[in-house]
Amino acid sequence: MKPISKLAEKIESGDFIFTAEFLPQAETDGEAIQTAVSVFSGKGITAVNVADNHFGVVMSSMAASVTLYREGLEPILQVVTRDRNRIALQSDLIGAAHLGIKNVLCLTGYHQSLTGNKESANVFDIDSIQLIASVKRMRDEGLLLNGVKLGGEFSLLIGAVANPFMAPHELNMIRLAKKVEAGANFVQTQAVFDVDAFARWLEAAHQEGIPQRAAILAGVLPLESAAEAQKLCETYTDFFIPDDVIERLQKAGDSAAQQKEGLAICAEIVQKLKEMEGLRGIHVLSGGKESKVPEILAAIDL
């Protein structure tokens, strides 16, 4: 079944795309969700990622996605395989389609030892590539993993993530190709701070014919300080921030000056990325600081 989301239409039209990120909080009053609605509405953002228990912060990505949908924003439901087996994953996907969700981003998820719930058990029944293939089978064949026929419409647009800086380079490209082959329609990358390294990764993707089969959106993240940059690099292996970027933040001065410099660096990166052949869009990562998104969007001249 053909995906029918606004994001799917943008991809098909060839337009340059902007997506953004929302990290739900552990709350029942929906204050963070309403902040996200006010931040993203009317800002030229095609769709908003809704994180799934990011860093162990517990809140239903499904509930948050539906709320955004009802408020007129198009959500991209993130689903990680860390916390659910294949029964629960398929159940949530069917529920999402029933509730009107049109896009899903398939991830394996950080190991729980890197989250705020280190004592929790992991699941990892299937990985992100297998999840992508499962969603594609549900959409295109109308079948669940056990062969049971799925009733009703199921037309989710399928997304994947990629880390352009993962080594070795050959393994990186093999994993990306597997995700696209499994059925990914679009790929959002981890935050780009080394534009030259990203350009080499994108060229390798071109050689594999990947941009012709899936829309690639480059992630960008405005850093607030040199200390934040160093902490990200020390904690998460998928963050690669060159020393010269950290030094530039340090030399900027006090906290306010470093935050301003972080926005300037982000804007410069976006301008360089937009010139790259085959790149279909930018994915704005907020890192949970959605209230700062208007400044980010202004800085990148959206």
* pLDDT tens-digit map of 32-75: 888 888 888 888 899 999 998 776 566 789 999 999 999 999 99
pLDDT bin (cut points 50, 70, 90) of residue 226 is: very high
Residues 131-144, mean pLDDT to the nearest whole number? 97
Per-residue pLDDT, 115: 61
Q: What is the rounded CA–CA span in Å between residue 227 and residue 233?
A: 10
pLDDT bin (cut points 50, 70, 90) of residue 5 is: very high
Q: Please check whether residue 1 lies inside any domain of the structure.
A: no
pTM score, whole prediction: 0.92
Q: What is the rounded CA–CA span in Å between residue 277 and residue 56?
A: 37
Q: How far is CA 44 from CA 18, 229, 242, 280, 302, in A?
A: 7, 28, 30, 15, 7
Return the bridge partners of 217, or none.
188, 281
Per-residue pLDDT, 122: 75
Per-residue pLDDT, 236: 77
Per-residue pLDDT, 21: 92
Residues 221-243, mean pLDDT to the nearest whole number? 89
Q: Please check whether residue 41 lies inside any domain of the structure.
A: yes
The contacts found for 34-42 with CB under 8 angstroms, 24 or more apart, are 35/290, 35/291, 36/68, 36/73, 36/290, 37/68, 37/71, 37/72, 37/73, 39/290, 39/291, 39/293, 39/294, 40/73, 40/290, 40/293, 41/71, 41/72, 41/73
Residues 111-121, mean pLDDT to the nearest whole number? 63
Q: Please check whether residue 262 lies inside any domain of the structure.
A: yes
Least confident of 8-12, 54-58, 118-122, 255-259: 54-58
Please check the confidence at residue 221 and state whether its pLDDT lies above 60: yes
Per-residue pLDDT, 63: 92
Domain total in the chain: 1
Mind listing the pLDDT tens digit for each residue in 255-293? 999 999 999 999 999 999 999 999 999 999 987 777 777
Per-residue pLDDT, 50: 94
Q: What is the CA radius of gyration of the chain?
A: 19
Structural domain that includes position 111 = 6-299
Please check the confidence at residue 120 and state whether its pLDDT lies above 80: no
CATH number of the structural domain spanning residue 152? 3.20.20.220
pLDDT bin (cut points 50, 70, 90) of residue 141 is: very high
At position 26, the amino acid (one-letter code) is A
- Helix ranges restricted to H, 79-126: 86-98
